[in-house]
């Protein structure tokens, strides 16, 4: 694959965090208690697939919880659609879910990691899912330190803020005192 891309596009330099093999990525676990790739967050459940798509489309068009649509890809032959979404905090209190704020805290190297964005919502059947932000951020920035400047500590409230915004954008209900799952 890399050779095909190099032939088609050329090659300037390697990019990214420390390399992980496909096998390592499958079982990647940044810290104890962190979710895995195959443990997504259930954002919402609707009566039908069409109801789920309509709810997500309507909420993204309305900018519910500061979440808007970047793209939609319908998976051929399956009742699945992937929505790429942008998140913008409307107030200072919402900044923890804001793409620009999060990237300003953790994307500090000379070559930027814009490929981390956008976040995705998967509508599969009548349910909407997303990868947990703790996993997704750690997977995109595996060499980010836990503490100090430009660290996970600076965005500690972001994973839960992102989850809450995505739940609302998917038409789900926030439960009092809910956290993570």
Q: What domains lie within the chain, and their CATH numbers?
A: 28-169 (3.30.310.70)
Nearest in space to 135 (alpha carbons), one of 24, 37, 32: 37
Residue 50: its pLDDT value, please?
A: 97
Omega before residue 88 within 30° of 0, cis: no
Tokens of 106: 């953790």
- Between CA 169 and CA 176 the distance in angstroms is 17
Q: What share of the chain is helix, strand, coil (3-state, %, to 5)?
A: 40, 15, 45
Q: What is the dihedral of CA 134, 136, 137, 142, to 10 degrees?
A: 110
Q: What is the pTM for the complete model shown?
A: 0.80
Residues 6+ apart with CB under 8 A from 69: 57, 60, 61, 83, 84, 85, 86
Contact 131, 9 (CB under 8 A): no
Residue 62: its pLDDT value, please?
A: 98
The secondary element (H helix, E strand) that includes residue 159 is: helix 158-169
Residue 16: its pLDDT value, please?
A: 59
Residue 65: its pLDDT value, please?
A: 95
Residue 147: its pLDDT value, please?
A: 76
Q: How far is CA 111 from CA 16, 142, 155, in A?
A: 8, 15, 20
Q: What is the pLDDT along the chain (181 residues), one digit of tens a residue?
A: 678 878 888 887 766 556 667 777 666 666 667 776 777 889 999 999 999 999 999 999 999 999 999 999 999 999 999 999 999 998 888 899 998 988 888 877 777 777 778 999 999 999 999 998 888 887 777 777 777 777 676 777 888 999 999 999 999 998 755 444 4
Strand pairing report for 41-45 and 127-130:
antiparallel
Burial of 22 (0-12, 13-18, 19+ CB in 10 A): exposed
Contact 59, 93 (CB under 8 A): no
- Between CA 65 and CA 62 the distance in angstroms is 9
């Amino acid at each position: 694959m890399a050779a095909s891309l190099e032939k088609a596009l050329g090659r300037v330099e390697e990019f990214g965090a420390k390399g992980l093999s496909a096998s390592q990525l499958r079982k990647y676990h940044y810290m104890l208690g962190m979710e895995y790739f195959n443990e997504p967050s259930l954002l919402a459940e609707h009566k039908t697939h069409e109801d789920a798509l309509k709810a997500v489309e309507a909420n993204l068009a309305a900018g519910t919880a500061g979440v808007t649509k970047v793209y939609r890809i319908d998976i051929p032959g399956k009742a699945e659609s992937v929505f790429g979404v942008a998140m913008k905090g409307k107030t200072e209190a919402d900044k923890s879910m804001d793409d620009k704020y999060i990237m300003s805290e953790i994307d500090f190297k000379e070559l930027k990691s814009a490929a981390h964005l956008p976040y995705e919502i998967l509508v599969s059947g009548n349910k909407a899912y997303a990868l947990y932000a703790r996993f997704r951020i750690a997977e995109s920035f595996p060499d980010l330190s836990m503490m100090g400047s430009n660290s996970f500590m600076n965005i500690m409230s972001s994973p839960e803020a992102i989850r809450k915004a995505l739940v609302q954008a998917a038409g789900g209900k926030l439960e009092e005192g809910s956290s993570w799952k």
